[in-house]
């Protein structure tokens, strides 16, 4: 298993793609290396990255879009469904709501592709961070005063564990098979990348918020977040924008070398470590659209450690195998 520690700012579209396809930060020099055919998905993932700089992630990065109004727990509380007023002061720690009850946990998710499609970092957020997990940090205290006033003390939102593949966001997955995956990973060599956030960095950010002036979340703050979400949440426009942008995104990945699966201008198709039937016909507009224009040069088939059958084309065939 490969483990990397990176600032979230260094997790670019290219870097994440390389980690997904190859389990390393940079694209390999030798794309004919059969070692690129890795074992199937595992838990934990074959590649894990620990992200640092949580403070800037939450204030300037993708985490800036996370707020209390996206939490079902906070919505239920602020609307009086949870802890209804009874004329007496009530207090509950957020941990006490962590029960297997729908919408009553401190965890929530947002789909980055649905927010602020006109922002400069939109494509990177939508691609890299996709369906992002957050949580109201332990220690938050939900309070209802005797007069019905509601607020949350010790209120901090932190990023949760996440992963990168082409299944993490239901919204993106509607388009990924056609617009992304076949252009980025036509042979299916990519493996899930697990993403965790450095605990010390999370603790430091939490301490700074608790020591500041923003650690009480009031009903006015909740209304402000509702208005903010109403202004920035554009799921239809976001999906349309990202779908349009995938042409340039996938072309940039190809031009940079991250997904340029060519040897001597011949498309490369990889097998698996199981028994495969590999064919040059895999290179077509549907299964490998960015490689299709090169198929007249011949095709390179790279087989893994199985009992494989390789079928060439009239343009010629090269192959390598391991066992």
Give the pLDDT means over successive 10-residue stretches in the chain (323 positions): 94 96 95 89 88 98 97 95 96 83 76 96 94 94 98 97 74 56 90 96 97 94 98 95 92 96 94 83 90 93 77 59 44
pLDDT value at residue 322 = 44
* CB-count exposure of residue 153 (10 Å: 0-12, 13-18, 19+): middle
Distance CA 115, CA 158 (A): 18
Is the Cβ–Cβ distance between 106 and 81 less than 8 Å?
A: no
pLDDT value at residue 103 = 55
Residue 7: which H helix or E strand, with range?
strand 2-7
Closest CA to 73 of 82, 63, 65: 82
- DSSP E strands: which ranges in 198-291? 217-218, 262-263, 266-270, 277-279
Q: At what angle do helices 235-256 and 13-22 cross, to 10 degrees?
A: 70
Residue 22: which H helix or E strand, with range?
helix 13-22
pLDDT value at residue 11 = 96
pLDDT value at residue 265 = 95
Phi, psi of 305 (to 5 degrees): -90, 45
pLDDT value at residue 1 = 78
Is the Cβ–Cβ distance between 246 and 17 less than 8 Å?
A: no
Distance CA 185, CA 254 (A): 11
So where are the chain's domains? Answer: 2-254, 261-320
Beta strand 162-164 with 193-197 is: antiparallel
**pLDDT tens across 127-184, in order?**
999 989 999 999 999 999 999 999 999 999 999 999 998 765 444 555 554 567 889 9
For the chain, how big is the Rg over CA atoms in Å?
A: 24
The DSSP-derived string for 140-208 is: -EEEE-TTS-EEEES--EEE--EEESSSS-HHHHHHHIIIIIHHH-TT-----EEEEE-HHHHHHHHHH
The model carries a pTM of: 0.90
Report helix, strand or coil for 233: strand
A 10 A CB-CB count for 186 gives 24
Return the exposure string of 238-275: e unless at least 16 CB atoms fall within 10 Å of the residue's CB, then b: bbebbbebbeebbeebbeebbbebbbeebbbbbbbbee
Closest CA to 39 of 31, 50, 47: 47
* CB-count exposure of residue 228 (10 Å: 0-12, 13-18, 19+): middle
* CB-count exposure of residue 201 (10 Å: 0-12, 13-18, 19+): buried
pLDDT value at residue 304 = 77
pLDDT value at residue 274 = 82
Cα distances from 314 to residues 37, 186, 214, 276, in angstroms, run 26, 21, 68, 21
pLDDT value at residue 266 = 95
pLDDT value at residue 320 = 54
pLDDT value at residue 221 = 98
pLDDT value at residue 127 = 93
pLDDT value at residue 313 = 62
């Amino acid at each position: 298993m490969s483990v990397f520690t990176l600032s979230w700012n260094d997790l670019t579209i290219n870097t994440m793609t390389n980690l997904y396809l190859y389990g390393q930060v940079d694209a390999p020099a030798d794309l004919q290396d059969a070692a690129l055919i890795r074992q199937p998905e595992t838990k934990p993932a074959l590649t894990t990255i620990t992200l640092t700089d949580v403070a800037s992630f939450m204030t300037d990065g993708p985490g800036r879009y996370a707020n209390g109004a996206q939490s079902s727990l906070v919505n239920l509380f602020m609307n009086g469904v949870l802890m209804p007023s009874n004329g007496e002061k009530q207090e509950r720690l957020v941990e006490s709501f962590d029960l297997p009850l729908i919408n009553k946990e401190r965890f929530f998710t947002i789909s980055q592709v649905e927010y602020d499609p006109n922002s400069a970092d939109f494509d990177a957020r939508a691609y890299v961070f996709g369906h992002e997990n957050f949580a109201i940090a332990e220690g938050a205290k939900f309070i209802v005063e005797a007069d019905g006033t509601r607020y949350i003390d010790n209120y901090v939102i932190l990023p949760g564990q996440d992963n990168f593949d082409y299944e993490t966001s239901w919204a993106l997955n509607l388009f990924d098979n056609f617009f992304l995956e076949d252009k980025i990973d036509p042979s299916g060599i990519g493996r899930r990348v697990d993403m965790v956030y450095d605990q010390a960095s999370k603790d430091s950010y939490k301490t700074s918020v608790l020591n500041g002036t923003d650690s009480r979340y009031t009903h006015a703050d909740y209304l402000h977040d509702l208005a903010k979400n109403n202004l920035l949440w554009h799921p239809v426009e976001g999906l349309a924008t990202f779908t349009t942008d995938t042409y340039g995104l996938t072309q940039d990945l190809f031009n940079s070398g991250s997904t340029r699966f060519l040897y001597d201008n011949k498309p490369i198709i990889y097998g698996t470590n199981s028994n495969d039937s590999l064919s040059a016909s895999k290179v077509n507009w549907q299964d490998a659209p960015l490689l299709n224009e090169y198929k007249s040069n011949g095709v390179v088939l790279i087989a893994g450690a199985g009992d494989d059958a390789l079928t060439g084309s009239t343009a010629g065939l090269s192959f390598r195998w391991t066992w």
